[in-house]
Amino acid sequence: MSDEPSLRDVVASDIPIFYEQQADPEAAAMAAFPPRDEADHFAHLKKILGDPTVFMRTIIFGGEVAGNLVSWATDDGQEIGYWIGRPYWGKGIASAVLPTFVKLVEQRPLHAYVAEHNAASIRVLEKAGFVHSGRTEQHLVYTLR
């Protein structure tokens, strides 16, 4: 097993792990994003994984599913998001894989939304070249051109 995080295609066995990661109350509070219940989560993942305009990868660390990265089209560009399971926080995983992922997504600009109190995610985005470009009611907007 490698200590270096890597990306791979999403497989069916990843989906329950993604559910557990997003259902973690502390993680949901950090992201300022309400968790989906199990049925909604599975329906949402089925929908986005069937959409050819969505690009999603699983993050592997130490042989385990550490989280995921996803990108999708919007009216004003392309959005990007990621979720790291709480046991993997603070290990530099998002900082290691985000630059690789954004190179795989050709569309620009890329927009990311991050909770103002989530200093770790703000640092991850800035390390990957995103710059603060605005705000919504609950999130700061970061953009990569």
CATH class of the domain defined by 6-107: alpha beta
Q: Peptide bond before 5: cis, by omega within 30 degrees of 0?
A: no
Per residue of the chain (145 residues), what is the pLDDT tens digit?
568 999 999 999 999 999 999 999 999 999 999 999 999 999 999 999 999 999 999 999 999 999 999 999 998 889 999 999 999 999 999 999 999 999 999 999 999 999 999 999 999 999 999 999 999 998 999 999 9
Domain boundaries, the chain: 6-107
E strand or H helix at 99, and its extent? Answer: helix 93-104
Q: d(Cα 130, Cα 47) in Å, to the nearest integer?
A: 28
